[in-house]
Amino acid sequence: MTFHEQIREGIPKVLPQPKPYDPAINHAPKRKEILNDEEKKLALQNALRYFEPQHHAELIPEFKQELETYGRIYMYRLRPDYRMYARPISEYPGNSEQAKAIMLMIQNNLDYAVAQHPHELITYGGNGAVFQNWAQYRLTMKYLSEMTDEQTLVMYSGHPMGLFPSHKDAPRVVVTNGMMIPNYSKPDDWEKFNALGVTQYGQMTAGSYMYIGPQGIVHGTTITVLNGFRKIKKSPKGNLFVTSGLGGMSGAQPKAGTIAGCITVCAEVNPKITRIRHEQGWIHEIIENIDALVTRVRKAQETKEVVSIAYLGNIVDVWERFDAENLHIDLGSDQTSLHNPWAGGYYPMGYSFEESNDLMANHPEKFREEVQKTLRRHAAAINKHTAKGTYFFDYGNAFLLEASRAGADVMNDHPTLGREFKFPSYVQDIMGPMCFDYGFGPFRWVCASGDPEDLKKTDAIACEVLEKIMETAPEEIRQQMADNIQWIKGAQENKLVVGSQARILYADAEGRMKIAEAFNQAIARGEIGYVILGRDHHDVSGTDSPYRETSNIYDGSRFTSDMAIHNVIGDSFRGATWVSIHNGGGVGWGEVMNGGFGMVLDGSADSDRRLKSMLFWDVNNGISRRSWARNEGAIFAIQRAMEVEPLLKVTLPYLVDETLL
């Protein structure tokens, strides 16, 4: 069968032969056994409803074995034979160019070079899934190949509910992931209901088809590291940044450290992902011996070398040994997937990677005990370094939250609202006040042609737009503008592309709209092919997360999620090609609500109208909320936005004299 025929086939009438388990692929860890016998039968019924009854007798034992062996039914047999990657948009079958663009983005999320566990349909974060199983993937691609611009595909946590009549200005796809009733949104609820096949964890950009590989966070991480050093009034040159995690999003850290110009040590326990990051050029060196690591870092400090080093081992060894050696750490953080601590997001000391996986699957309570013991040691070692002057920040991965639940010494001796922990979230002290409050966040685009030349042209267009804006930019945002111009000028030489021909930069509403408008005009002139716009949900408006994106909201509303819901509703009727709303992205199931979008630019007047309407709302919705929380930068930004757009009228806060209170 041709590629087009396989896409259009959906779930085959004749079952393909079972596929052998490929040990060369980085697989998801076995999930713990959480279903009782009755629930296991229900999980099988739920899986088999995708197949005609004549196949059930053959599939029941196979799916039962998958459930018992892996803790999930992935339907490996249905994994396609074709290579999984983002093809040029012209190579997809279909009646809608917008639908073809979405197929491109889905396949990019599952590209072996991009996805963390591609055979389990997991893109990053240990559990960030595009689909729950391969039947859902096949059926979704079939629907997308059939749909017109007068239909909308509705996605329920990976399950394609179906095509519904709509209209050309409606989203082509509406996605929800993990939208649980609040009382059923604890970590074990995810384990249970995901095993039943009725919900999934979409992370931020996995289940919304907008992941672009580690580049998606390299820029934000670069800005974080640069501003972290600015905060402690040090140059990155010759100074040390220590962190951990080389998986999906965390794999960007050493690359970002190199771009910022510091020494980076990033610990990782998984040998396979460590080698992948080295082969991709995201890290310079791998060191497995802690003595050798100490020697190497001292040399780098003495020569002020810019180098990224992966330590293949537990991060706690690094913190403890560097303390014993009195080796100074300037910036410290952690980006292991602690939103998922009991299912592969964080590994305990004293066990090999394989031993830990075995303990996780077969002795979950013991595994939990060892993880919490390690977290206590981890925090104790960090405290010793911060006493010597290290600036440590929580990198939005729920490190402080899980460490506190483990009884670690991370709580503030004199807590105030929003400052319960002794260490700040990076959003509180860096990204929130310096970027998000002013509307700067992760604007990204993908060249649908797949042509590297198109990416070069869009880089040049974006740079030209930003330099023009910079000429009249107010002083309050000139540093942000300068950082982004420097970033986009170095984007090509830093070899950031993994998978699709994609780019990211931080821009405010003005920057996003003007860059998108310039892209659309270039498409209309025939200079470049279609462009797919999007962003990380980790942005000004998309996400309500009390310990990350909205951690610098101090009016008590950081535990509400009105903003994320309004964001996706507003995007949907202002012209987004697809919209998504998720529970659980980034910091954990039940800890966050986040919304995202995708938008296809085709050079038309319709695209011009949609991009101006949607992008203005997508940013200023969040600035409005932040200004109402009395954030100084956001008040400045929203007043500036109202001057530009007379139809915008936002309720501003009156400030109360502290002496009266």
CA 133, chain centre distance (Å): 20
State phi, psi for 355 to the nearest 5 degrees: -60, -40
Residue 395, marked binder = yes
Whole-angstrom Cα distance, residue 28 to residue 357?
10
Q: Are 420 and 411 in contact (CB under 8 A)?
A: yes
Q: Where are the alpha helices (DSSP H) in 248-352?
A: 253-260, 271-279, 290-303, 315-324
What is the residue-wise DSSP string for 420-431?
EESS-BHIIIII
Tokens representing residue 272 in the block: 């396979």
- CA-angle at 34, arms to 544 and 313, nearest 5°: 70
Using alpha carbons, select from 47, 483, 75, 415 the residue that is nearest to residue 256: 483
Flag whether 162 is marked binding. no
Sequence length of the chain is 661
Distance between CA 57 and CA 325 in Å, rounded? 63
125 labelled ligand-binding: yes
Residue 460 in tokens: 């040049």
CB neighbour list of residue 129: distance below 8 Å, 6 or more residues apart: 120, 121, 122, 123, 158, 200, 201, 202, 203, 206, 207
Give me 540's structure tokens.
């000004």
480 appears as a binding residue in the annotation:
no
- The tally of CA atoms less than 13 A away on the side-chain side of residue 372 is 12
- Please tell me the distance from the alpha carbon of residue 324 to that of residue 313, in angstroms, as a whole number: 17
86-92-97 Cα angle (round to 5)? 100
Provide the 3-class DSSP secondary structure of residue 414: strand
Half-sphere exposure of 201 (CA within 13 A, CB side): 32
C-alpha–C-alpha distance, residues 89 and 600, integer Å = 11
Phi-psi region of 286 (alpha: psi -120 to 50; beta: other; left: phi over 0): beta
Close Cβ partners of 534 (under 8 Å, ≥ 6 residues apart): 205, 210, 444, 445, 446, 596, 597, 598, 599
Tokens of 559: 């535990």
> What are the φ/ψ torsions at residue 598 (nearest 5 degrees)?
-135, 145
d(CA 568, CA 401): 27
Residue by residue, DSSP assigns 543-586 as EE-TTTTTTT--SSGGG--HHHHHHHHHHHHTT-SEEEEEESTT
**Does 126 appear as a known binding residue?**
yes
AA identity, residue 315: I
Please, which contacts does 225-230 make with residues 24 or more away whose CB atoms are closer than 8 Å? 225/256, 225/257, 225/260, 225/262, 225/331, 226/260, 226/483, 227/430, 227/431, 227/434, 228/331, 228/391, 228/393, 228/426, 228/430, 229/260, 229/262, 229/330, 229/331
| Cα–Cα dist 199/158, whole Å | 7
Q: Is 74 annotated as a binding residue?
A: no
Which amino acids are annotated as binding site, given as ranges? 125-126, 203, 268, 395, 586
Which amino acids are annotated as binding site for NAD(+), given as ranges? 125-126, 203, 268, 395, 586
